[in-house]
Amino acid sequence: MALVLFDLDNTLLAGDSDYAWGQFLIAEGGVDRERYERANADFYEAYKAGTLDIAEFLAFALEPLNRLPRAQLLAWRARFVEECVRPMVKPWVAPLLADYRAQGATLALVTATNDFVTAPIAELIGIPHLIATVAEERCGRFTGRPEGVPCFRDGKVTRVRSWMAGHGLSFEDSTFYSDSHNDLPLFEAVSRAIAVDPDPILLAAAQERGWEILRSDPSPQALFG
């Protein structure tokens, strides 16, 4: 059975859900505007540059989950998905996923963004399996720490391999869509690599390796090549 893996931010979405969630919390008064906005922007730039310290970032990104009441977080998350994420979904995503489903492929979303933010996004988009950085919980409360290996860079490969082992799947007939050079380890692991609106580093790697390159809003026919 074919396995199709998708990065989320700037791949299926025209934007970054992790960054957008931080901006949403700022707008709702859930975090200190001046401190959080500056740090959110700095971490996002570091991610794009390939210099992100994932442990430092997760300590920052998961702290509000530990501090804010769960009921408030859930209410804000529901609004965030509807008001901010739904408009970000690229128009070609739904027909592409429908085609893969018709072929009987197994679809999974693989993202560094934590599972509290991305679980409802996977549901919104219609991808049944989510492999994400896990926000640790203890006794019904978020701890503000990640659980296990963050789903980032080599960690994405580790997390995907672990997930595949539990589902009887392998990289033998696998496809991966992503925009980011941070995902080069997973690109190297799959049998079909598709760079979607790639950043400059990924674009150079894709051209060198002969990977498929997709630009914004291609037709479903172009997506399948």
Residue 9 annotated as catalytic: yes
- pTM over 0.85? The answer is yes
CB distance 202 to 181 below 8 Å: yes
Regions in the chain scoring below 70 on pLDDT: 1, 217-225
**Identity of the amino acid at 122:** A
Choose, from 7, 16, 115, 199, the residue flagged as catalytic: 7
Confidence at residue 216, expressed as pLDDT on a 0 to 100 scale: 75
CA distance 71 to 78: 11
Confidence at residue 124, expressed as pLDDT on a 0 to 100 scale: 98
Choose, from 9, 16, 179, 199, the residue flagged as catalytic: 9
- Identify which of 145, 147, 150 has the alpha carbon closest to the alpha carbon of residue 67: 145
52-100 pLDDT, tens digit per residue, is 999 999 999 999 999 999 999 999 999 999 999 999 999 999 999 999 9
What sign results for the dihedral spanned by CA atoms 82, 84, 90, 91?
Answer: positive
Helix 54-67 to helix 33-49 angle, to the nearest 10 degrees?
Answer: 150
**Residues ≥6 apart with Cβ < 8 Å to 197:** 10, 11, 179, 214, 215, 216
Residue 7 annotated as catalytic: yes
Name the superfamily (CATH) of residues 3-224. Answer: HAD superfamily/HAD-like (3.40.50.1000)
